[in-house]
Amino acid sequence: MAKVAVLGYGTVGSGVVEVLDTNAQEVAKSAGEAVELKYILDLRDFPGDKHESQVVHDINIILEDPEIDVICETMGGIEPAFTFEKNALIKGKSVCTSNKELVAAHGPELVELAKQHNVSYLFEASVGGGIPVLRSINDSLKHEKIDAITGILNGTTNYILTKMDKEGVGFATVLKKAQDKGYAERNPEADVEGYDACRKIAILSSLMSGKHVNYEDIYTEGITKISIEDFSYARKMNMAIKLLGMCKKNQNGFFTMVAPFLIPLENPLANVNGVFNAIDIHGNMLGDVMFYGKGAGKNATASAVVADVIDITKHKGHHIEVNMKAENAQLSPKDNAVRSFFVRVPENKADEAKEIFGSKIEVIEGENVHGEFAFVTDMISEKDFEDRIKKLDSVKGYIRLY
């Protein structure tokens, strides 16, 4: 019998307990032995809860209990989660977590600590909620040379972009509706500014490179500047607008970025709508494989945490290898990346725009958009684009083409 402690009885933590209760037989069958919840750590009490008697307020009760094999950290945030996880690993307990902030910031050193103590550190639920993407990278795709990962990694922003596109409603209105329905946080900054997607692509990039990709080094743009006019042009171009997290291998290392992109409709990522996430992985032998599913939500995320508990239980006494060393990965600068850009300027700036961006631009007419001039640039580098766009004042917006 494997004994588990859950740290944090919030949305994900209570979901983990629910999965362990509801699917006890399936979990036991898969793990090869019964998996039993022994403790829940939380500051609060839960009078009347089925697991009321298992709630403790002192982490040391869990850390000092030799019966505890696995700790599920579902508290979120850096501290005290980081200290709790480190101490658990040092005490010889395996840890699994949904905590993307912590994994993005300290994942590689926690993996190394787990290795030193012959236990495991897994974090399937930190990227793509219930989608088994990290385990696939770590297992089924281990023999591949992965050269690109591109994903829609944030459900909230994908929901907002989908609503703006399908219902023709502006960003602020859709955000308000999403907040009322509970799809967006009261403080939506982490989602709409791309910070959440940035943490997730940092984790994926670290697994892809086998080294630490620091999320602070990833160029990140959110969706707050996207307008309904942009969708009008996108439709004309047979494209969708999606917030993408990407990591591509090139001669200079790994190029990573989070930003809204115009994607041709024939690309499967263009058809991922609502709160769903999708991650496309390109391997040198495999080609493209795409993972699709619920990237958030209590049960989906909890299911991924329990998948880690099972893996750890099956490998009791062994460290599960995770390809993530603590040394920093070599990132290639954004400046050299080459692509086309879609740009909108006021109508009276058309001549200036043509002069600055040259004759190879393609002019785009939006449906029911008046008083502006919109075009797609030739393939140019990010640096070149940045230098040219600076020369144009009153730019209404621009979006990269995928």
Q: Looking at the annotation, which residues are catalytic?
A: 200
| One of 8, 107, 130, 155 touching ligand HSE (CB under 6 A) | 155
244 belongs to the binding site for ligand HSE (CB under 6 A): no
d(CA 32, CA 69): 14
Least distance to ligand HSE, CB of residue 216, Å:
19
* CB closer to ligand HSE out of 194 and 295: 295
- Residue 342 contacts residue 369 (beta carbons within 8 Å): no
Q: Pick the stretch among 52-60, 150-158, 320-328, 344-352 that binds ligand HSE (CB under 6 A).
A: 150-158
Measured in Å, how far apart are the chain's first and last C-alpha atoms? Answer: 50
d(CA 84, CA 61): 12
Least distance to ligand HSE, CB of residue 296, Å:
4
Place of tokens 């770590």: 138
Least distance to ligand HSE, CB of residue 291, Å:
14
* CB closer to ligand HSE out of 42 and 196: 196
Peptide bond into 264 cis (omega under 30): no
* CB closer to ligand HSE out of 62 and 127: 127
Distances (CA, A) of 257 to 88, 229, 247, 356, 382: 33, 24, 7, 26, 12
* CB closer to ligand HSE out of 245 and 295: 295
Q: Pick the stretch among 40-48, 83-91, 153-161, 379-387 that binds ligand HSE (CB under 6 A).
A: 153-161
* CB closer to ligand HSE out of 182 and 317: 182
- Taking CB under 6 A as the rule, which mask of x and - marks residues 252-291 in contact with ligand HSE? ----------------------------------------
Q: Pick the stretch among 152-160, 258-266, 337-345, 379-387 that binds ligand HSE (CB under 6 A).
A: 152-160
d(CA 251, CA 377): 25
**Which residues in the 120-149 window bind ligand HSE by CB under 6 A?**
129
Distance of CA 302 to the CA centre of its chain: 16
d(CA 14, CA 143): 36
Place of tokens 């926690």: 110
Least distance to ligand HSE, CB of residue 364, Å:
30
| Both tokens assigned to 333 | 């600068």
d(CA 180, CA 136): 35
- Taking CB under 6 A as the rule, which mask of x and - marks residues 292-331 in contact with ligand HSE? ---xx-----------------------------------
Pick from 263, 264, 245: which is nearest to 255 by CA?
245
Alpha-carbon torsion angle 279, 202, 198, 400, nearest 10: -60
| One of 74, 94, 150, 154 touching ligand HSE (CB under 6 A) | 154
Binding residues for ligand HSE, rule CB under 6 A, total 8
151 belongs to the binding site for ligand HSE (CB under 6 A): no
**Which residues in the 176-195 window bind ligand HSE by CB under 6 A?**
191
Least distance to ligand HSE, CB of residue 169, Å:
19
d(CA 355, CA 12): 54
* CB closer to ligand HSE out of 126 and 313: 126
156 belongs to the binding site for ligand HSE (CB under 6 A): yes
Q: Pick the stretch among 10-18, 29-37, 154-162, 348-356 that binds ligand HSE (CB under 6 A).
A: 154-162
196 belongs to the binding site for ligand HSE (CB under 6 A): yes
- Residue 170 contacts residue 164 (beta carbons within 8 Å): yes
Q: DSSP states of 143-179 as a string?
A: TS-EEEEEEE--HHHHHHHHHHHHH---HHHHHHHHH
Query: Which residues are 297's β-sheet partners?
Result: none
CB atoms within 10 A of CB 153: 32
* CB closer to ligand HSE out of 132 and 397: 132
* CB closer to ligand HSE out of 296 and 310: 296
8 belongs to the binding site for ligand HSE (CB under 6 A): no
Angle ∠(354,387,265) on CA atoms, nearest 5: 65
Least distance to ligand HSE, CB of residue 139, Å:
22
List of residues contacting ligand HSE (CB under 6 A): 129, 154-156, 191, 196, 295-296
